[in-house]
Amino acid sequence: MAVLTMGALPLGFRFRPTDEELINHYLRLKINGRHSEVQVIPEIDICKWEPWDLPGLSVIKSNDPEWFFFCPRDRKYPNGHRSNRATDKGYWKATGKDRTIKSKKSLIGMKKTLVFYKGRAPKGERTNWIMHEYRPTTKELDGTAPGETAFVLFRLFHKVEEKNDAVKYDELEQTGYSSAMIKSSPDDTSSDLMQDTVSSVTHSQKPDNFMQNDQVTEISLPERQFEFV
């Protein structure tokens, strides 16, 4: 497995691609078979793993509870209207409205929020594992052209239990993501996720299985890594 540790970068560097970058760069290259250019995000079959096993499969190793994966698009449901989202121990369930991703005002993709439940529907037990599924919507990235393979991209989050009921503003602020200055709109149906995930960032807790991979393969970056001009 490929591993990219962040320790040698100055503290504070993080992999924080925008939604537009995930669609127009990462998914575009992956769908077009240019795998070696997007090795920083590994390819897995998301439903063959339990969520707590996924961080160990991440190429980028950091303390932030956030990880990225490509997943082949399920052929059983090519329209994206439904997907088989069951794992061995539970299932991923969509929550809230899908959101549009635009580039220069054009629709390029959709983002769906999923929550993992242990057990079987409708009696599953909600967990703190959350994913955003990114799906391109343009014809050119539907995976049907010669040389293309259909992929979606998952951004996985793990939230940590808060002792207090309320996450206060100051606590949100100290995560440092405040600079992005995001404000959720009143129609945001996943605002509870937002609050929860912030608290996990605050605690920077590692999942137990973090960095416990024994099969490690070296991969290489472009020669110039940091450029000082």
SS3 assignment, position 158: strand
Q: For residues 74 and 98, which CB has a smaller minimum distance to its own copies in the complex?
A: 98
Work out how close the CB of 60 gets to its own copies at its nearest, in angstroms, rounded to a whole number.
Answer: 9
* Dist CA 110 CA 213 (whole Å): 32
**106 sits in which H/E element:** strand 106-118
- Residue 212 interacts with its own copies (CB under 8 A)? no
Residue from 54, 71, 101, 152 in contact with its own copies (CB under 8 A): 101
Work out how close the CB of 70 gets to its own copies at its nearest, in angstroms, rounded to a whole number.
Answer: 14
Site mask, its own copies, residues 1-40, x = CB under 8 A? -xxxx-xxxxxxxxxxxxxxxx--xx-------------x
User: Which one of the spans 42-50, 77-85, 96-104, 138-146 is the region binding its own copies (CB under 8 A)?
Assistant: 96-104
Residues 132-191 that bind its own copies (CB under 8 A): 132, 155, 157, 168-185, 187-188, 191
Report the candidate in 151, 83, 81, 90 with the shortest Cα–Cα distance to residue 116: 90
Residue from 76, 81, 123, 224 in contact with its own copies (CB under 8 A): 224
Using alpha carbons only, give the angle 137, 143, 146 rounded to the nearest 5 degrees: 140
* Dist CA 172 CA 181 (whole Å): 11
* Dist CA 108 CA 142 (whole Å): 11
Residue from 95, 195, 205, 209 in contact with its own copies (CB under 8 A): 195
Work out how close the CB of 76 gets to its own copies at its nearest, in angstroms, rounded to a whole number.
Answer: 28
For tokens 């996450």, name the residue. Answer: 167
* Dist CA 65 CA 74 (whole Å): 26
Kindly compute the dihedral angle of the four CA atoms of residues 179, 195, 61, 211, in this order, to the nearest 10 degrees: 160
Q: For residues 122 and 166, which CB has a smaller minimum distance to its own copies in the complex?
A: 166
Q: For residues 147 and 228, which CB has a smaller minimum distance to its own copies in the complex?
A: 228
